[in-house]
Chains A and B, each alone.
Chain A
Amino acid sequence: MFDMVKNEEQTTVTENVTQELRRGILILAILSQLNEEKYGYALISQLAELGLEIDQGTLYPLLRRLEAQGLLDSSWNVEGSRPRRYYVINKAGKAIRKDLAGEWRSLTEITEKLLANIK
């Protein structure tokens, strides 16, 4: 019984920390896929194909935030079956992405060293 409770707690902690880790890389993930104009659902599908699941309720507010921060440009396209808002990375966004990518590579290298002796 005690072990079961302990396992449940452990799972919850693992889930929470995993969520935090994933949240930390979402911005870099989005910036990495917006070299060309894409609308929200297309971006969700592309990220899912590459193994990163992101829900709509998380993606759209994040896209707005990145646009408000001046890293993305957006425009409405009303030519298809329904109006779609397309997002693309701009010059400032590319500069930030470069810095973030460098930071990420450095962090993964350090983390790999730290985890070298852990099975």
Chain B
Amino acid sequence: MEFIERYLQEVGRHLPTNKKADILTELRSSLGDTLEARAGEDIKEESVIQVLKEMGAPRKVAASYYPEGQYLIGPELYPFFQFILGIALAGSIGGQLIAAVVSLAVSSRPLAIVDQLGQIAGSVPVTLGFVVLVFFLLQRLNVQPRFDEKEFDPRALPALEKDKPVNRAERIVSIIMGIIVLGFLFQIAANGGFTAKGGVDLFTNPVLDHYFPWIAVSMVIGILLDVILLWRGRWEISTRLAKIGANLFSMFVLYLLIQGSLAWFDQMGLHSFIVAPDTLASEPENFQLIGMVSFQIAYFVAFIVTGIETLVSLYRLIRAGRSSNASSLAGMALINR
């Protein structure tokens, strides 16, 4: 009979504590009845094994005492969990990015950006863990969300989604690249310019330094927008408008940088940022000039690329509006048939 006790011990491991003793007593009694009916007084090991096999694996038997299933977060709470988690993560990451921009803009510590990025990365599992814990407790307390009992009205269904799904991989890469570039810029701002390995100063960039808060704000807006897109999963009219707005702001910042650089070139006695190669060749030590020229070219390229991207976004916004109208008309035609 030791097998029965071993079996019950294993079943008991997976049973709810408050009902465990009661259920095990009933199972023990039932197994005893079954064996007695089959083998009488002379119970052999083979008979016990056969009866236990018929009863089923301990974990399976225990699980059948949870008709509602065993969940960390049940299906009723899960949609709310997803919603709250999205808000919590966006709030946590977004808030910290803004805090990082503010604190690092005034910080002179070169490695401050590394600390800030580490904190942001560390906050993700903490936020996730906290939200899971709260919902786990709600699940344990059997808190069930109450749905609005209003009568279902098909007319109240949301309009057909004509929005395109977001390319998630593209957004993730964009967020990572944005954070890396932001970190790189913070490093430059913290060091007061570019330094070579070993702390040797290469050149300073006064224009970048001057407009640094504008660049940081523009980049944080871009990262936040990517996070929102990743969360929403679809391109909607609101997100397209936000993207166009963010791009226009970036173009404005790039315009300031271009103008600032041109003013700097003027100040240096150069009337164009296109410097003759022989000038550079004759002054190989002039890293600042090379750096400023490179940055000015980068601003121009970024300005053009952002401009094209904005036009594409604008075109897609107009097209989405048209297809939405067309689907409304198609629906009307269907009704009129």
Contact = CB atoms under 8 A, between A and B. Distances in A.
The yes or no verdict on A and B being binding partners is: yes
A82 B67 contact: no
A57 B56 contact: yes
Interface in A49-78: 55-58, 60-61, 64-65
Given A57-B61, A57-B64, A83-B25, A41 B33 contact: yes
A60 B27 contact: yes
Interface in B48-82: 54-56, 60-61, 64-65, 67
B34 interface: yes
Contact of A56 (B34, B37, B60): B34
Contacts, number: 52
A85 B26 contact: yes
Given A56-B34, A56-B55, A40 B67 contact: no
Contacts of B32: 81-82
Tell me if B's interface is mostly helix, strand, loop or mixed. helix
A61 B29 CA distance: 15
A57 B60 contact: yes
Interface size range on A against B = 10 to 19
Interface string A30-44: 000000000111000
A56 B29 contact: no
A41 B37 contact: yes
Residue of A57, A64, A81, A82 contacting most chain B CB atoms (<10 Å): A57
Contacts of B124: none
A72 B143 CA distance: 26
Contacts of B323: none
Contacts of A84: 29, 33
Given A41-B34, A41-B37, A55-B55, A60 B26 contact: yes
Contact of B67 (A45, A60, A61, A81): A61
Given A41-B33, A65-B67, A57 B25 contact: no
Contacts of A41: 29-30, 33-34, 37
